[in-house]
A and B are shown apart, each in its own frame.
Chain A
Amino acid sequence: MTTLAPVSGRRRTVDRVSRGLTLALTVVAVLPLIFIIYYLIKEGIGAWSGDFFTTDPTGRFLGDPGGIKSAIVGTILMVALASAIAIPFGIGVALYLVEYGKGGRFANLVRYFVDVMTGVPSVVFGLFVYIVLVVTKIGGTFAGWKGSVALALLMLPVVTRTSEVVLNLVPDSLREAALALGAPRWRVVFRIVLPTALPGLVTGSLLAIARAAGETAPLLFTAAFVFGTQFDLSQRMNSLPLQIFNDVSQAQDRLVQRAWGAALTLVALVLLLSLAARLVQRRSRLA
């Protein structure tokens, strides 16, 4: 076999430099994450203490600024309600698109609009819920459940999209086999399709939950901001992102440190959810 012409020095240099540059830029891309995690831990750990998690922010000017208990409670409650709304809704729509809507015009329209929804900025969702629910004073003014509605709007397209992808991956052969054995459609869905796709559905849902937990803008207009712990979703509720947003611009150092502590808590929560999503995904037997 004839030997190929050796690579010239210049080409080799270009190759090395370009590859080096690509590597360098990749490192640059990862740096911010490292910095953020470093600062989160460095500044945030100092704020963590027993009191931090068990006392409410006092809002007082002098004296003890308090912890972030109400923020944690509020985030958990509001995100839980939002998930309870968005996840069934989203999976339902995805089921429709996969089981009944392949290629139909209606289904394509729905798919297109769900895609549109993914691109809507979260602040616009908050504004929408503000106009429709808060200003009209339906069920009181600011309320935790309205914040949940705004978050649910945010989660819906994400859950629908990821669920559609996962449901599509369930092999048709499984469905056909069940149908051939005489099973009605609904049983095929609930006994075959959903269980098979479950890990993927859970993954998608967990990622959507993680995203919702970190959102600030939709809550600004809907759940508003209070200091005290509130279990009643029909009242104003605090939340981790709002608490951080409130503390971030303060001049008092200990309030800023509280913001770091709350940020560390929030990121830990989001990372836990993302990690759980990944672990579940590993267990999936689909592609």
Chain B
Amino acid sequence: MEAGTLRARGGPAIGDRSSRSRALDPLLRWVLTGLAALILLLIGFFFVRLFIEAKPAFDKFGYIGFVFDNNWDVSKEIFGAWPLVVGTLITSAIALVIGVPVAIATALYISELCPRGARQPLTILIELLAAVPSVVYGLWGIIVLAPKLHGVEQWLSDTFSFLPLVGGPVSIPNCFVAGLIMAIMILPIVSAISREVMATVPAQDKEAALALGATRWEMIRIAVLPYSRSGISGAAMLGLGRAIGETIAVTIVIGNAPNVPDSIFSQGYTLAAVIANEFNEAASDPTHRAALIAAGLVLFVLTLIINAIARYYVNRASRGNKRTVPTGMAG
């Protein structure tokens, strides 16, 4: 038990247990614990402060009133956020409807179907989508995508005008383009998590299906998809959480109209976009500012709930996997 002979490059022997070095141990522990506690305090403060600032708006319009009243009128100081909530929901729904199937397909292709060599490059390409900043998506969206889609959207709107929320004039910035851009933005995260979940499907399930004569697709249908369902739902919800909070790209392409949109091809507004657009003039108007912060709070709570649900599903998926008897192949 002498001082160890192991010496790191320079410095005292690693086994040196002088009293000075022993005193540093509790110090380290305290510092690190302090940092961890600081995070808790920070988040607590964050939530409390937001709530306090938002309270005047909730007091004036009521919690239900603020969220469900269909009247966002800044000049008359009436702040009913329903048009914003609807806009947020519509664009997120479009993002999910378009983005999730594509993400799942991508995850499936990469994990099950594509040649070994293509796996890494494809993964990198999908991940690169996440590297593009939101404002660049907005720039590309409004300059390139929205004008190019205008014709197609007009045709869709005319052809499917019997559907609810379709039909009528098509504007260049609109909810559909916003949803589409959001779909592209959530692709990487939904795809990555789905891939991870699919990777945990036990090989023996897949092999069993193949051994029984299933085609590749049938194997996927039988073994991979049902197994991954929970995890994929979780991934989709995480994507939804991300989509809801998207601000800059949305405000550039959505048209900023504080009305409940007549169709997915007309302008809309979201909770996040309204904060970015209006906070500047709310600086000295207490009611307006409280209303914007309340919108931020609603957004925050929405993402909290959605992420909690997502976590539940993803955890359920991974818990389920752990229960499977390990086959000796790394799970």
Contact = CB atoms under 8 A, between A and B. Distances in A.
The reply to whether A and B meet directly (CB within 8 Å) is yes
B277 to A, nearest CB: 10
Interface string B127-156: 111011111111110111000000000000
Contacts of B248: 216-217, 241, 245
B184 A263 contact: no
Nearest to B128: A33
Interface in A106-128: 106-107, 109-110, 113-124, 127-128
A245 B135 contact: yes
B276 interface: yes
Contact of A36 (B42, B132, B142, B304): B132
Interface string A3-20: 011010001101100110
Interface stretch (A54-62, A76-84, A130-138): A130-138
A219 to B, nearest CB: 10
Contacts of A39: 140, 143-144
Size category of the A interface is: 35 or more
B40 A18 contact: no
B39 A181 contact: no
A231 interface: no
A286 B106 CA distance: 27
Interface stretch (B196-204, B259-267, B292-300): B292-300
29 contacts: A12-B215, A14-B218, A15-B217, A26-B114, A26-B122, A29-B102, A30-B125, A32-B184, A35-B144, A36-B140, A39-B140, A40-B140, A89-B35, A93-B39, A110-B36, A113-B40, A115-B311, A116-B304, A128-B50, A182-B3, A182-B14, A182-B17, A183-B17, A185-B25, A213-B133, A217-B248, A245-B135, A248-B138, A270-B132
Interface of B: 1, 3-4, 6, 8, 11, 14-17, 21-22, 24-25, 27-29, 31-33, 35-40, 42-43, 46, 49-50, 53, 101-103, 105-106, 108-110, 113-114, 122, 124-129, 131-140, 142-144, 184, 187, 191, 213, 215-218, 220, 241-242, 244-248, 252, 272, 275-276, 279, 283, 292-293, 296, 299-300, 303-304, 306-307, 311
